[in-house]
Structure 1
Amino acid sequence: MSRIRRLPASAVAAATALALALTACSSKAEDDGGDNGSGGGDGASGELETGAGVTDTTITLGALTDMTGPYATLGASITQVQQMYVEEINGAGGICERELALEVRDHGYDPEKAISAYNELQPNVLAFPQFIGSPYVTAVKDQVDSTDMVPIVAQAWTASLLGSPYIQMVGATYDVETINAIDFLVSEHGLAEGDKIGQIYFEGDYGENALEGAEYAAEQLGMSVVGQMIKPTDEDMTAQVSALAQEGVSAIVISAGPRQAASIAGVAAAAGLNVPIIGNNSAFAPQLLATEAAPALLNNFYIAASTLPIGDEAAKDIADSYLAAYPDATLDNGVLAGYNAIEIITEAARLACDNGKLTREGLTEALRTMSGFPGLGVTHDFSDPANPSTLETVILKPDADAPGGMVVHREAAVSDIAGSFPRE
């Protein structure tokens, strides 16, 4: 069944098909309690139970984004495509006889702003289809699990978020993604026992979780990791690349952002360090191909991700709709990340409505029935919050001629090491 929906009418058709295909829990339970409130309406089984963020006419969702910090390009794409999605759904009649509303706050990747924005929006939304920044999602995790119980699709993939009934990641966690990336370096670039892998990584949950995966893979393969920890505000990677060159690394893993990736690739090329470079899923933006780093990025640079690129034929309808709504926007994989996230929340809301329980608890229960959600290139299983939605990773490569600046280099696969990676 197709998930790609360019026109509102097809959006409803595909969503209805998915809702019917999924098995949902139909038991009626009590409301979330606390400040979650109640409203009116009719579900498929009779009177509809509602809660926070739901009135007789509106379902309010929240977006905590970064449109002015290190992930500004990603945040803009995610937010705009989610706004587009909301307009399409509303144009097709809404969900559960209600229109969607998306409340957006830009935290600029600042911890104080991120937590403040979460606390401001949390009492008034059904769910968050966007929350950028693993450190900030981690910071509210205990509050979410113990009192707020608000479903969140995190644009973060740190393994420390696993196990929460309410926080969902779409894709492999950073550790698994990095293990698959190193497996790719072994199979395609000949890395072997005794080799050193350089890793430049952000301090905090993102980079340190990716480092855990790299160190596990290296141990299994008889290699070693030479780590260089940086801050998100660090952009000149000359010192870090020089240190890795002195260590004689055979490859570099980037667990940082696009600005750092551009510097790493450019500095390595200038220094004659001709080794493969691979980044985690958020380490690339197509705008980099308009910088001086472009030749280096096009030469020997890859990205590990849990989705096809926005320029793939399978994503054409989404890309076309996005550019029609935002003609001056740049296509990147934030478009798909944002689309997938809000689609997951709205499909769960449809199921919750059918079950007569359009509450945070009802939406969470519905989400856990979605064990075969069709992603672009990867199928996701949201039934067990203790595990990533997938262990598979797609390897992408920059291409200046491709919409969104990337093409598939290797289709989705999971390494034996990732499959055996121990989880606490």
Structure 2
Amino acid sequence: MSRLLSALGLAVGALALTHLPAAAQTKVTNEGISPTEIVIGTHQDLSGPIKVWGVPVSNGMKMAVEEVNAAGGIQGRKLRMILEDNGYDPKKAVLASQKMVERDKIFAMIGAMGSPTVLAAQDILFDAGVLQLFPLTAAEFTFKFDPSKPQERLKFNNLLPYVESTRAALKYMMEAKSFKKPCIMHQDDEYGKNVLDGFNLQLAAMKIAPASITSYKRGASDFSAQIAKMKSDGCDLVVLGTIIRETIGAMSEARKLGWDVTFLGATPTNVLEVPTLGKEAVEGLYAASGFEIPYEDTAKGKVKVWLVDYKKEFGTDANTQAIIGYNAIMTFAYYVDKAGKDLTGQKVLDALESGDKFYDIFNSPPTKFSKTDHLANTETQVQQIQKGRWVLIKDTLSF
């Protein structure tokens, strides 16, 4: 009798395990998938303070969608991309995401723009089972996930993360140049905090105290107080947790004061607009980077063709941002193709976590994810502006 009860108990236990609460499973939507198309969404800054990122990113994405569709789509399905303007405003990002999830029925959100905007809207996606893929922010919240919260498995990032890239670039600069008094000026938001964290963590590991830490409000244009403070604190290396306009503004202010200090930018400063717009003021700027920036007159092969095609279609030179946008779509297409013709959201999630590597045409480090790691890679470069162009100084860096 006791053996019968024991067996019954095991059977009941096994049955209970097969009926775990739904919260223990990652819900992935099948919305947006039909026999002929896959609907994807993105929200970019097309009108706000970082439209110099949002416009070329969206152009790169459009170019990739056209290329995929011209080749017959993915397993016979064409891509249809819904593009919304978030104006780099978290409230607009939330409204745009709600619209794309509820009305447009998107399958995945790809390459959404900005740390504060992505953070504000991501729970809308997770609640609906929509994948959040390759956002245009390298903040940790875009790839680190809590295993006890299954919906967080829906986020993946293929950008070089701010914390790790800042640490690797700072370590290289400190050791190569023997700086003694490093300091930082960072944007007062999620992006800037990540750069600050990388700065603090690396200095702590090297047992070096920061000489000065200062910040500015997102959208600020006057950096005279911050630059004056860092100069008076005797900084010999300034880490910039800035974007484009702020990078140029800070370095221009330093030049006005006659302060000849070395600047090291986080990855968002490593774009063509900084030397193009900043000119002499930004000469000598170092920056953390994920890949070498191609120039049309020196590029070769597929990259040369891509640069020429981009300029023909959009009437302007391709830049870092356009490459990132293009790669976001091409990475998505690669893993959806791996998921097979009988497409479901779960199969795409499985393909993303399979460990298969995606190689882009720009010779970037390969993209690879697993069930426990949703960040593509952390391999960092340091580049410098020399005579108006970004030049590779050191690659394959880590901390």
TM-score, structure 2 normalization: 0.84
The CA deviation string for residues 173-193 of structure 1, in whole angstroms up to 9 with x for no partner, is: 1111110121121233222xx
Range with bigger deviation, 272-281 or 206-215: 272-281
Who is 1:268 aligned against?
A: 254
Secondary structure class of the residue paired with 2:340: helix
Secondary structure class of the residue paired with 2:92: helix
Over aligned residues, Cα RMSD in angstroms? 2.2
How many Å separate the matches in 2 of 1:337 and 1:290? 19
How many Å separate the matches in 1 of 2:90 and 2:372? 25
Unaligned residue ranges in structure 2 (runs of 5+)? 1-24, 146-151
Range with bigger deviation, 53-62 or 251-260: 53-62
**Does 1:55 pair with 2:34?**
yes
How many Å separate the matches in 2 of 1:167 and 1:331? 27
**Counterparts of 1:329-344 in structure 2 under 5 Å?**
329-344=316-331
Unaligned residue ranges in structure 1 (runs of 5+)? 1-30, 37-50, 416-424
1:52–1:359 CA contact under 8 A, matched in 2:
no
State which of 184, 201, 207 in structure 2 corresponds to 1:222: 207
The CA deviation string for residues 113-134 of structure 1, in whole angstroms up to 9 with x for no partner, is: 1111011112411212211111
How many Å separate the matches in 1 of 2:177 and 2:27? 55
Question: How far did residue 33 of structure 1 move?
Answer: 7.1
Give identity over the alignment, percent. Answer: 21
How many Å separate the matches in 2 of 1:122 and 1:310? 36
How many Å separate the matches in 1 of 2:82 and 2:299? 31
**Does 1:148 pair with 2:132?**
no
Who is 2:390 aligned against?
A: 406
Secondary structure class of the residue paired with 1:317: helix
How many Å separate the matches in 1 of 2:356 and 2:241? 29
Who is 1:374 aligned against?
A: 359
Aligned length: 359
Amino acid at match of 2:241: S
State which of 113, 127, 130 in structure 2 corresponds to 1:132: 113
Q: 1:211 to 1:117 in 2, by over 3 A?
A: same
Secondary structure class of the residue paired with 1:362: helix
**Counterparts of 1:62-73 in structure 2 under 5 Å?**
62-73=41-52
1:377–1:411 CA contact under 8 A, matched in 2:
no
Question: Per chain length, whose mean CA-contact separation is higher, i.e. which structure has more relative contact order (CA < 8 Å, sep 6+)?
Answer: 1
TM-score, structure 1 normalization: 0.79
**Counterparts of 1:228-307 in structure 2 under 5 Å?**
228-291=214-277, 293-298=278-283, 300-307=284-291
| Pair member with larger Rg | 2
2:40–2:106 CA contact under 8 A, matched in 1:
yes
The CA deviation string for residues 168-215 of structure 1, in whole angstroms up to 9 with x for no partner, is: 111331111110121121233222xxx222211112211111111100
Q: 1:153 to 1:257 in 2, by over 3 A?
A: same
**Counterparts of 1:108-119 in structure 2 under 5 Å?**
108-119=87-98
